[in-house]
Structure formats: C-alpha cells, structure tokens
Amino acid sequence: MDVFWYALVGLLLAGYLALESVDFGVGMLLPLADTETGRARMRRGVVPLFLANEVWLVAFAGLLFGALPLLEGELLSALRIPVVLLLTAWFLRDAALWFRTAHPGDRWRRAWDVVLPVSSLVLAAGWGAVLAALTRGLSTHGNGHAVATAGDLLHPFALLGAAVAVVGSLRQGSLFAGRGLPADTSLAVRLGRLDRVLTPVLLVLLAVTAAVGATVTDAPVAVAVVAVLAAAVVYGSGRLRAAGRTTAALVLGAAPLIALPVLVGAANGTTVLATRSGDGVLHLSRAIADSASLGLLTVTVLPFLIAVVLGQVWIWRVFGRADHHRTA
C-alpha cells in the first residue's frame, strides 16, 4: 500500500503536467498571433480550462502532505528557491490570463502579453528542470540534508528535462490552438509550420535524454526505457496529426510531460528523495504516513479524486472542443 500512495501522488503530478502543458504552450505561443483577434482567441481557448487543470496540482500538494508528510517538508526545504520561482510564475501566469481584459488600454494588454509567455516558459522549464534534477539526485548540504543547488538545476540532464517540457508544451499548445482555425489564416499557417518542426525536435530531445539519463542515473535501463517509450508515443502522435486526428494527437502528445515524473520513480524506486552522495536520502518506508492517516485518506481523498477526474472529463468535453473555441 505504501507504493500505491507514492504512485498516486506521482500520478496527480503527471496529470497536472499533461493538462497544463496545453496552457503552458498556448501561453508561450501568444506572440505568434499578430492580431488582437488572434491573441484574444488563444487566451479564450485556455481560460475555461486552466483553473480546472490546476486542481490536479492542489490535489498533488494535499495528498503529498497527507500521505508523505516527511517528504513534503524535505522537498520544500531542498527546493525552496525553485519552488518560489515556480509559485511566482504561476501567480503571474494566472494574473495575465485574468487581467488582460480587465482594462481596455492597449499598453495594459501589451504588458500582460509579455508576462503570459514569459511566465508560461518559466513554468514549463522550471518543472522540467526540477524533475530531471530529482531523477539524477540532489546535492547534500553541510548539515546532511538534500538541497537543489544551481549546479543541479543547470546540469545538462536538468536542462534536457527543461527543454523536453518546453518543446513538449509548445507542441501541445500549437495542436490545441490550431484546432478549428481556418487553414488559410496566418495564425493557422504559423502553428502548422511550428508543429512540423517541434515533433522531430522533441523526438531528438527524448533520444538524447535517454542516452544522457543512462549515464547519470543509477537505473540506466529504466530511465532509457521511459524516455524511448515517450518518444514512440510522440511519433505515433505525429502520425495521427498528419492524418488529421488532432484530438488523438493531443492526447498522445502529453507523453513527454507524463514521462518527467515517471523518470523520478524509474530512476530511484522507493527512494523518494535521492542524493548523489547518499547522505540525506529519504526512503518510502520512513516518509509514508501512519496507517490511521492513510485509512482516513482512503475514505476521504479517493472519492474526491474520482469526482475530480469525472469533472475534468466533463469540462474538457464542453470547453475543450474546437467548435467552442471558434464560436467563443
């Protein structure tokens, strides 16, 4: 059961990244729209969805606190600087989506049109770098506790994780924003060209991630398999996109974002917080909550999570359709 709760925490984070990759991507792609109508349309496409997507992050944080309380404290301590940066980017991204239309002035809109792509880029790259650093293992502070140093977050493997998250999100955003657009519009042409470039770039990045991950982690085979499988799914997504099955391509296109938290578990197993020195590591058996707390979570959290999944499916069916974007 300990592994079940750890896997469920990871599943919630993977779900958040998979869904939010669309929001990250659309936010980063906003400068491609050269008209106010195009920018407004891209924003309207994600506004009904992003708060529902963020429920997964809230659920992740809540379950992490309830099921793995010691891990949450250690992670917040080790990742305090990147966590502050991610929270700041999160607040700014949401503010840009909400406040862009709160004032009619052109300068007001242009200011938020800068904040939105920059904060979306920081969110995507930040999550990718943090998860890759956790996959490789953190440094150890002088007091024996794990800490994410600049060297950890700027290591080539961490930068690869950031690149995979950014390119994967850009591809998701281009697929999502391009649905329902007339093929002869300038924005549709730009998004189509970008998608044709991003797919092979993403495949190369995943292949390099598999190769580098096999040399810098303690589970080279597992890490390589996860990255290669993600690449295979992306390739299938590209074939579906070429066949005009954009929705199916969008679903499969989330694979690189899902792979990032999976890599942490594949590389470290039940070591829920790994360090390269071996000092300050945290194992699942020590991080898991007591049986009484887990029993309470079983009867309270699991029904809530089922309701969240059902609600998410309904929201995407209603607000995520291409015809909704076209008529909004």
- Taking the chain, what is the end-to-end CA distance rounded to the nearest angstrom? 46
Alpha-helical runs (H) found in 137-185 = 150-153, 156-178
Give the predicted TM-score (pTM) of the model.
0.92
Provide the phi-psi class of 244: left if phi over 0, else alpha when psi is between -120 and 50, else beta. left
Q: Give per-residue burial for 193-225: e unless 16+ CB within 10 Å, then b.
A: ebbeebbeebbebbebbbebbbebbebeebbbe
Per-residue pLDDT at 299: 87
pLDDT at 29: 92
pLDDT 10s digits, 209-240? 999 999 999 899 999 999 999 999 999 998 99
Is the distance from CB of 226 to CB of 268 less than 8 angstroms?
no
Q: Which long-range contacts (CB under 8 A, 24 or more apart) does 278-287 make?
A: 279/140, 279/144, 280/138, 280/140, 280/141, 280/144, 280/145, 280/146, 281/146, 282/70, 282/71, 282/74, 282/146, 284/2, 284/3, 284/6, 284/68, 285/2, 286/70, 287/68, 287/69, 287/70, 287/71, 287/74
Measured in degrees and rounded to the nearest 5, phi and psi for residue 149 equal -90, 170
Low-confidence spans in the chain with pLDDT less than 70: 180, 183, 320-328
CA distances from 293 to 18, 36, 68, 71, 72 (A): 29, 52, 10, 15, 15
Task: Give me the residues paired with residue 157 across strands.
Answer: none
Q: Residue ranges per domain, the chain?
A: 2-327
Dihedral, CA atoms, 163, 165, 167, 168, nearest 10 degrees? 150
Residue 144's pLDDT is 79
pLDDT value at residue 328:
46
Q: 81: part of which helix (H) or strand (E)?
A: helix 80-99
pLDDT of residue 230: 96
DSSP conformational letter for 146 = E
Q: Which of 289, 219, 296 is nearest to 71 (CA)?
A: 289
